[in-house]
Chains A and B, each alone.
Chain A
Amino acid sequence: MTQFLNYAVPGVPFGCVFALMAVGLVLTYKASGVFNLAFGAQAFVSALAYVSLDQDGWPRWASTVIAVFVIGPLVGVLLDRLLFRRIRTASPLVKLVPSLGLLVALPQLALIIAGSTPSIPPPAIVGNAQRVYFHLGSVPLSGLELSISAATVVVVGVLVVLFRFTPVGLEMRAVVESPRMTELAGVNAGRVSAFAWILSSIMAALAGVLLSPLYSQLDPQNFTVLLVWGVAGAVIGRFASLPLALVGGLALGIAQQVIAGYMPAGVIANGLRPSLPFVVLLVFLPLARQRQIDDPLSSCDPPSSASEAATAGFRSASTIAASGGAVHAVGLWHQRLEDLPGSRMTGILVRRPTATFAWAVGALAIVSALTWVPPDWLLTMNQGVAFAIIFLSLTLLTGMTGQISLCQATFAGLGGFMAGQLANHFGLPIVLGMVAGGLLAAGLGVLVAIPTLRLAGLPLALATLAFALLADNILFPNTWIGNGAGGITLPRPSAGPVSFAAAKPFFLLSLVILGVCAGVVKLVGDGTMGRYLSAVRGSELAANSVGIDVYRLRILVFALSAALAGVGGALFGSLEGSLSANDFGYQISAVLLVVVAIVGLGSIAGAVVAGIVYTTLQVAVTSLPSRFAGLVAVLFGLATLSYTRHPEGFLDFLSGRVQTAIADRRAHRLGGGPDGHGPVDGGVGKRPTASPDPVIGGPG
């Protein structure tokens, strides 16, 4: 028992911080319908403010007040006003991408504003962080631990009073229970939700500030880890119960210390602790889903308007209206047959004028790469090609199925490590190694998919995030996998007398591999599977009821997507000559999803452009002062703010604009109908005397 206490008591402060995060997450989730992954970033921003103010010689109480009660709520209210309020009824993807973008962007933005990270640990908000004040049994309690625990007790006390004894507390409890019911009762849920945002932002800020003395240098990654623990706590609270989330967070904090204490030292023990959230998510997420179904009005969110009710669940109109066109996030795959008359079913993508332009640009880029482009540019382009393959894996998974994976970088890393290890230890040609890497990633994909793919939307995203964290901690550090931060070397391919070691041959080979991968995605998208996936996106229930095994289909796509990521990762490793765990850490997955979602998840071109843009910008940033190292993350993160308006992605948006413009001009030239698409209808009276364009000439 004493032994247990020795391990458990030091876990309490961690548990307190996790609990603060968990309660805050549940509060905003239920009050505003958004699971705010930017919570970790908010904690970081306040922690950074606290540390910076402290360094500037501000008194401790003033730094605390400003960081926790001014900056914390300010950021929260801004996020609510600018973003989250608008997307509370959007699709899971549209909700998740901006909060991921902010998770990535906010810390980097704060770092750019702050200029530098102070490297001396700040003091605890009360007392001396290092000094041991007294012993509980034989467990020493330091000022840091005491301050964290005391602050949490105060917060919980305030929450209890607020929820039990104040009108706004009552309203908030009602909103947490069922926002729709509360609105029906005449309460302004928007105001209550804003208050909940302030409250939860204070909690995130407090969690960040309380934890900051623990680190010698503030690193956004630590706060992402904190976020994941908070998420696990929130999941224990089934996304719904504040007391359960509190208890869950506390229990996790204690459990992780106890596990570390009892387990023998080594990779397993070191890895087991950070992978606890993954286990918790796998066990508790199905329960959380059950609970949501229990809400009697859960199927009525958003409150439907009269006209929608009239169509009795014919969902297109309501979904499109609610998500601002989010339905078309998946662009091309939808439009296959729209323009084709009758029942001629072929898998032809609609031919767009912009497609010809895109091919021309691509051809020009390739010719340039092979002729006049300087070597370092060529390297960047080649990196872009490798990343394009990884982005393709998201085009397939997220673009076509709407499933959100936050472990694609992990699959890329595993594929790369597999290829490298096989080449180094067994002399396997690296190209075969890439295939093997893809297969390994696919196999692991199936393993991840089997327990997690029963979930969908947000729970799936969280489960994959937890898996990425687990892989980072348990798989990557192994010498026979990723060899930790040291990494492994990968050769460049050669086939007999033909060597691809030089830049240009390797670039050509990369293009061929990209072409094969793109071909796979296109065939899947246009074929039976694409049609099935399209059906599942439209209505999972109906897809099941016509005989589609949705679960198996999802596993298949997830595995295929993991394989693509693995191949891309292996190609990247071979290009760079080495690969380390840092190249494909879990936080990279979030960046990748954000980038490709902004550029466009609906097309192969989107993935290719995303690859080129992503690598090019990263290279461009290196020429700036070191302060701006995080600028790419900031740019893409903030671009997600526009994503909620244009979920089809930049590329589709642009090509849509161009096409509309072309159609308008053509219609104008022909004096066609006001619909902007020319006189398609043969019966239109305003027929031109002589149509110069046979393509749009109507019958008769």
Chain B
Amino acid sequence: MTGGVQRDDGASRPLLVADGITKQFGGITALDHVDMEVAAGEAVGVVGPNGAGKTTLFNCLFGLEDPDEGTVVFDGKRIDRLPVWKRSRLGIGRTFQRMELFEGMTVADHLLVAEQAASGTVRIWRDFVHRGGPTPSELHHVEQVLGLLGLSDLAGRPVETLDLGHARLVELGRAMMGTPRLLMLDEPSSGLDADDTGRLARILGETRRTTGVAVVLVEHDLALVESAVDRLYVLNFGKLLASGPVDEVLADPEVRKAYLGSTA
């Protein structure tokens, strides 16, 4: 399924390769031999009607579900048998459609936890010696990301006091800690109004420019998809319907029929 894939000339090997991912729930085939490739620094969208298998694909790539068949290779290393936390430490950050924040913790603590966890050690001895405070570099990175997201003023706020738009940004920020090479965003605009979505798109663009991180975006908001990604995968009933550059794919009559419900 690599035919028609547009890639930067300099890219040596793709960052993420999913090959033949199949997942069944009982008698329902949620994913049917789905292939996917993401190059380093590339932004890829995954769209499709409800129940097309987008989130299941995410979960299979990220390790929340074990695919029945297929392999996932990240940066040349097979990861489809690794637990979630190991995949995360390899450099994959993700957000959730149904938000999963650390209730009771502050915005800054969300980022700090992610930053410290990404480095991969439970520092019980360091806790005893240094009283568990952040190192200057950790603190610096947290402040950097807070600045990028425009959350500096809210750093000390517990997350449950935030509105949905800011809460989604906290989730994004948390996924960005530890300098990941791939961000997986599951419907980040869900529940947001136009202003918040616009801000999200702006921040996403800014993030890609400054960090060169690759992005996989599952999204219903086509405006956001069009502005944020280079290439598009279309899923329908667990099957890959089309893939390629955004405008080409969206012009595909079969895609329009399945996704937009029109044959125009």
A interface, CB within 8 angstroms of B: 310-317, 319, 327-328, 330, 334, 336-343, 345-347, 520, 523-524, 526-532, 534-535, 537-539, 541-550, 552-553, 556
Given A311-B191, A528-B123, A546-B88, the answer on whether A319 and B114 have CB atoms closer than 8 Å is no
Q: Is the C-beta of B84 less than 8 angstroms from some C-beta in chain A?
A: yes
A contact residues around B156 at 8 Å (CB): 337-343
Question: Contact at A545–B88, with CB atoms within 8 Å?
Answer: yes
Query: Contacting B190 at CB < 8 Å: which of A312, A526, A531, A542?
Result: A312
Query: Contacting A347 at CB < 8 Å: which of B94, B103, B131?
Result: B131
Q: Is the C-beta of B222 less than 8 angstroms from some C-beta in chain A?
A: no
B contact residues around A556 at 8 Å (CB): 122, 124
Q: Is the C-beta of B160 less than 8 angstroms from some C-beta in chain A?
A: yes
The distance from the CB of B89 to the nearest CB of chain A, in whole angstroms, is 4
Bound-state CA distance A520–B117 (Å) is 21
The distance from the CB of B93 to the nearest CB of chain A, in whole angstroms, is 8
Bound-state CA distance A353–B69 (Å) is 60
Q: Is the C-beta of B74 less than 8 angstroms from some C-beta in chain A?
A: no
Q: Is the C-beta of B214 less than 8 angstroms from some C-beta in chain A?
A: no
**B112 nearest CB neighbor, chain A only:** A345
B interface, CB within 8 angstroms of A: 62, 64, 83-85, 88-89, 93-94, 96-106, 108-110, 112-114, 116-118, 120, 122-124, 126-128, 131-134, 139, 142-143, 146, 152, 155-156, 158-160, 164, 167, 171, 174-175, 177-178, 190-191
18 A-B residue pairs with Cβ-Cβ distance under 8 Å, sorted by A, are: A311-B164, A312-B99, A314-B99, A314-B164, A315-B103, A316-B104, A316-B160, A337-B109, A338-B156, A341-B155, A345-B112, A347-B133, A523-B127, A526-B132, A528-B126, A528-B127, A530-B132, A549-B85
Question: Contact at A535–B102, with CB atoms within 8 Å?
Answer: yes
Question: Contact at A541–B96, with CB atoms within 8 Å?
Answer: yes
Question: Contact at A535–B113, with CB atoms within 8 Å?
Answer: yes
Question: Contact at B167–A546, with CB atoms within 8 Å?
Answer: no
Bound-state CA distance A209–B159 (Å) is 53
**A294 nearest CB neighbor, chain B only:** B26
**B91 nearest CB neighbor, chain A only:** A547
For the complex of A and B, list the 4 residue pairs with the smallest distance between their C-beta atoms, beginning with the closest. A527-B132, A538-B102, A527-B127, A313-B98
* Best-surrounded residue of A311, A339, A531, A553 (most CB of chain B within 10 A): A531
Question: Contact at B117–A538, with CB atoms within 8 Å?
Answer: no
Query: Contacting A547 at CB < 8 Å: which of B89, B109, B131?
Result: B89
Query: Contacting A343 at CB < 8 Å: which of B99, B155, B191?
Result: B155
A contact residues around B108 at 8 Å (CB): 337, 342-343, 345
Question: Contact at A317–B122, with CB atoms within 8 Å?
Answer: no
Query: Contacting B118 at CB < 8 Å: which of A315, A526, A546?
Result: A546
Query: Contacting B113 at CB < 8 Å: which of A328, A330, A346, A532?
Result: A532
8 additional A-B pairs beyond A312-B99, A316-B101, A317-B160, beta carbons within 8 Å, are A315-B103, A330-B104, A337-B156, A531-B109, A535-B110, A537-B102, A538-B101, A541-B100
Question: Contact at B85–A544, with CB atoms within 8 Å?
Answer: yes
Question: Contact at A529–B114, with CB atoms within 8 Å?
Answer: no
Question: Contact at A545–B62, with CB atoms within 8 Å?
Answer: yes
The distance from the CB of A351 to the nearest CB of chain B, in whole angstroms, is 16
B contact residues around A345 at 8 Å (CB): 108-109, 112, 133-134, 139, 142
Question: Contact at B158–A539, with CB atoms within 8 Å?
Answer: no
B contact residues around A530 at 8 Å (CB): 127, 132
Bound-state CA distance A339–B156 (Å) is 7
Bound-state CA distance A340–B101 (Å) is 20
Bound-state CA distance A341–B108 (Å) is 10
The distance from the CB of B25 to the nearest CB of chain A, in whole angstroms, is 10
Bound-state CA distance A334–B112 (Å) is 15
A contact residues around B83 at 8 Å (CB): 544, 549
B contact residues around A553 at 8 Å (CB): 122
Bound-state CA distance A508–B220 (Å) is 66
A contact residues around B132 at 8 Å (CB): 347, 523, 526-531
Question: Contact at B122–A534, with CB atoms within 8 Å?
Answer: no
Bound-state CA distance A535–B97 (Å) is 18
Bound-state CA distance A535–B64 (Å) is 18
* Best-surrounded residue of A527, A531, A545, A547 (most CB of chain B within 10 A): A547
**A550 nearest CB neighbor, chain B only:** B85
**B108 nearest CB neighbor, chain A only:** A343
The distance from the CB of A337 to the nearest CB of chain B, in whole angstroms, is 5
Bound-state CA distance A321–B64 (Å) is 29
Question: Contact at A523–B89, with CB atoms within 8 Å?
Answer: no
Given A532-B113, A547-B178, the answer on whether A527 and B191 have CB atoms closer than 8 Å is no
A contact residues around B93 at 8 Å (CB): 545-546
Question: Contact at B102–A342, with CB atoms within 8 Å?
Answer: no
Question: Contact at A534–B98, with CB atoms within 8 Å?
Answer: no
Question: Contact at B118–A547, with CB atoms within 8 Å?
Answer: yes
Question: Contact at A532–B142, with CB atoms within 8 Å?
Answer: no
Question: Contact at B99–A548, with CB atoms within 8 Å?
Answer: no
Given A343-B146, A546-B174, the answer on whether A538 and B85 have CB atoms closer than 8 Å is no
**A314 nearest CB neighbor, chain B only:** B99
Bound-state CA distance A260–B242 (Å) is 66
Query: Contacting B88 at CB < 8 Å: which of A340, A520, A532, A547?
Result: A547
Question: Contact at B84–A544, with CB atoms within 8 Å?
Answer: yes
Question: Contact at A548–B117, with CB atoms within 8 Å?
Answer: yes
Question: Contact at A547–B152, with CB atoms within 8 Å?
Answer: no
B contact residues around A327 at 8 Å (CB): 103-104
The distance from the CB of B229 to the nearest CB of chain A, in whole angstroms, is 22
The distance from the CB of A438 to the nearest CB of chain B, in whole angstroms, is 15
* Best-surrounded residue of A347, A545, A549 (most CB of chain B within 10 A): A545
The distance from the CB of B156 to the nearest CB of chain A, in whole angstroms, is 5
A contact residues around B98 at 8 Å (CB): 312-313
A contact residues around B191 at 8 Å (CB): 310-312
Bound-state CA distance A535–B115 (Å) is 13
Question: Contact at B64–A539, with CB atoms within 8 Å?
Answer: no
B contact residues around A523 at 8 Å (CB): 127-128, 131-132
Bound-state CA distance A312–B101 (Å) is 12
Question: Contact at A531–B88, with CB atoms within 8 Å?
Answer: no
The distance from the CB of B154 to the nearest CB of chain A, in whole angstroms, is 10
Query: Contacting A319 at CB < 8 Å: which of B89, B102, B103, B109?
Result: B103
Bound-state CA distance A315–B146 (Å) is 23
Query: Contacting A537 at CB < 8 Å: which of B89, B104, B152?
Result: B104
The distance from the CB of A509 to the nearest CB of chain B, in whole angstroms, is 22
Question: Contact at A529–B127, with CB atoms within 8 Å?
Answer: yes
A contact residues around B131 at 8 Å (CB): 347, 523, 526-527
B contact residues around A315 at 8 Å (CB): 99, 101, 103
Given A529-B122, A541-B96, A542-B174, the answer on whether A346 and B133 have CB atoms closer than 8 Å is yes
Bound-state CA distance A474–B223 (Å) is 67
Question: Contact at B104–A538, with CB atoms within 8 Å?
Answer: yes
Bound-state CA distance A343–B140 (Å) is 10
Question: Contact at B96–A542, with CB atoms within 8 Å?
Answer: yes
B contact residues around A316 at 8 Å (CB): 101, 103-104, 159-160
Question: Contact at A545–B84, with CB atoms within 8 Å?
Answer: yes
B contact residues around A339 at 8 Å (CB): 156
**B120 nearest CB neighbor, chain A only:** A547
B contact residues around A552 at 8 Å (CB): 122
The distance from the CB of B210 to the nearest CB of chain A, in whole angstroms, is 19
Question: Contact at B106–A338, with CB atoms within 8 Å?
Answer: yes
Question: Contact at B116–A531, with CB atoms within 8 Å?
Answer: yes
The distance from the CB of A662 to the nearest CB of chain B, in whole angstroms, is 22
Bound-state CA distance A337–B142 (Å) is 15
**B118 nearest CB neighbor, chain A only:** A547
Bound-state CA distance A552–B83 (Å) is 12
Bound-state CA distance A648–B246 (Å) is 53
Bound-state CA distance A544–B113 (Å) is 11
Bound-state CA distance A528–B104 (Å) is 16
**B88 nearest CB neighbor, chain A only:** A547
Question: Contact at A535–B105, with CB atoms within 8 Å?
Answer: yes
Given A314-B167, A340-B156, A526-B132, the answer on whether A539 and B113 have CB atoms closer than 8 Å is no
Question: Contact at A549–B106, with CB atoms within 8 Å?
Answer: no
* Best-surrounded residue of A339, A534, A543, A546 (most CB of chain B within 10 A): A546
Question: Contact at B120–A542, with CB atoms within 8 Å?
Answer: no
**A530 nearest CB neighbor, chain B only:** B132
A contact residues around B123 at 8 Å (CB): 527-529
